Amino acid sequence: MIDTNIFQDKTAVYYTLGCKLNFSETSTIGKILRDAGVRTARKGEKADICVVNTCSVTEVADKKCRQAIHRLVKQHPGAFVVVTGCYAQLKPETVAKIEGVDVVLGAEQKKDLLQYLGNLQKNESGEAYASALKDIHSFAPSCSRGDRTRYFLKVQDGCDYFCSYCTIPFARGRSRNGTIASMVEQARQAAAEGGKEIVLTGVNIGDFGKTTGETFFDLVKALDEVEGIERYRISSIEPNLLTDEIIEFVSHSRSFMPHFHIPLQSGSDEVLKLMRRRYDTELFASKVRKVKEVMPDAFIGVDVIVGTRGETDEYFEQAYEFIKSLDVTQLHVFSYSERPGTQALKIDHVVTPEEKHRRSQRLLELSDEKTHAFYARHIGQTLPVLLERSKPGTPMHGFTANYIRVEVPHNDTLDNQVVPVRLGDFNEDGTALQGMVLL
């Protein structure tokens, strides 16, 4: 039994890098500390505990993690510093040597954070606790409140895919999940707290069910029946795991939105093979066609990596033309980053940083064109928008079912409400449509 008296009236700050899953898990860590008596430090207040939840998807991410740790150590002198997340799992000893770090917790340890805090006395040097990959087994539940409107429900963790460029399976372990019953209960709790929208998060959520003998489709059907939750969004799902039955179900679902995020990574079949992805461009195109066939106005976001080893100029041009041909809404473009220990390092043909940047810019411009056209098609329509709180005097914003960002004049009474909005023209910076609430 942990004596929590030491934590009473202590303060903590949290810093998260990386994906929605990380943000969800940081929220759970925050709840663990709050339940032990620790409150979140106010702005400008010196904290007793600093928690950094790290990412390691790229070399840049590693660098940002180190910078964040240095910054927090400087801002909160004497604070007990805990570092967890993917970078902590992959490089625990390296992180432990960063000045000011007290404890480094790997993927298996972070759920038991309280056990590693001791009496909050600073350590002479950082202590690292991280299990070997084969010993990462547990699934730590998490349903975090991103704000009063949107929750992030962790449904799955880990990955069995081992793509040639990726370290996530080494940082997160094998695919595992909680039960559908536990997910439904967390969704009900979110509804009881006033949540209207839940985003399903994980590392490879379409792989849900590996440890419980269930399926992601079973999960979707069960969550759709939870009263009080008006909207679900599927954060990201591999194209080979996005089945036609899931697409069909979403098309007539009560609460699953016509909004998909499907990682492509490359529009070249040759590069997909080098990446060890589990589909080809024809399968990907067929999924996009299926979504648009049953949901013509669906928002489709797509992840793309440029400049991977082996991506010649010819392969990139093939990829560009393929992506251009797709009826998708937005591209999330990433530059390939060499990760130690990955199979991609054995591939010939290295793309220069300058060429990676050029390719990224071309795809980002294509993305802007596609998003602008998608938004423009909806001008003049009246659609339900879930509005979110904003600072007094600034426009409120929210999203349509198909994820069009909309701005409306400030009105506190509309916070966390789904209201009909007539969509007007683009705002000044082109990031949203201006709307008029119709009540």
Domain CATH number, residue 243 = 3.30.750.200
Neighbours of 41 (CB within 10 A): 19
- Sorted by sequence, the CB contacts under 8 Å of residue 328 that are 6+ apart come out as 288, 300, 301, 302, 370
Q: What is the pLDDT of residue 144?
A: 86
* DSSP H or E run through 354: helix 353-376
| CATH number of the CATH domain containing 79 | 3.40.50.280
What is residue 4's predicted lDDT score, i.e. its pLDDT? 77
If one counts the domains in the chain, the total is: 4
Q: Are both 275 and 219 inside the same structural domain?
A: no
Q: Sign of the CA dihedral 295, 220, 167, 114?
A: positive
Residue-wise pLDDT tens digits, 106-164:
999 999 999 999 999 998 899 999 999 999 999 999 998 865 578 999 999 999 999 99
- Containing structural domain, residue 71: 3-133
Q: What share of the chain is helix, strand, coil (3-state, %, to 5)?
A: 35, 25, 40
Do 299 and 392 sit in the same domain of this protein? no
Domain end marker among 374, 399, 418: 374
pLDDT tier at 1, thresholds 50, 70, 90: low
What digits encode the pLDDT tens for the residues 195-229? 999 999 999 999 999 999 999 999 999 999 999 99
Residues 93 and 219 both lie in one domain: no
224 lies in the same domain as 323 = no
pLDDT > 70: what percent of the chain? 99
CATH number of the domain that residue 174 is part of: 3.30.750.210
- C-alpha distances (whole Å) from 427 to each of 201, 397, 408, 435, 439 are 30, 11, 10, 9, 22
Cβ atoms 151, 195 nearer than 8 A: yes
Instruction: Measure CA of the first residue to CA of the last residue in the chain; give whole Å.
Output: 54
How much is the pLDDT for 147? 57
**The pLDDT of residue 175 is above 80:** yes
> Does 412 share its domain with 328?
no
Kindly state whether residues 368 and 388 are assigned to the same domain.
no
Last residue of a domain, one of 321, 349, 374: 374
* Length in residues, the chain: 439
Q: Which of 184, 210, 235 is the last residue of a domain?
A: 235
Residue 370 and residue 271 in one domain: yes
Same domain, 281 and 261: yes
Q: Using one digit for the tens of pLDDT, what is the confidence trace for 254-305?
A: 999 999 999 999 999 999 999 999 999 999 999 999 999 999 999 999 999 9
> Whole-number mean pLDDT of the chain?
95
Q: Do 183 and 203 share a domain, yes or no?
A: yes
Q: Do 268 and 294 form a contact (C-beta atoms < 8 A)? A: no
pLDDT for residue 2 is more than 80: no
pLDDT digits (tens, 9 = 90+) for 295-340: 999 999 999 999 999 999 999 999 999 999 999 999 999 999 999 9
The partner residues of 259 in beta bridges, in order of sequence, read 299
User: Hey, what are 155's tokens?
Assistant: 């449904």
For the domain that residue 400 is a member of, what is the CATH number? 2.40.50.140
Q: Are residues 209 and 245 in the same domain?
A: no
Same domain, 67 and 128: yes
Residue 357 and residue 261 share a domain: yes
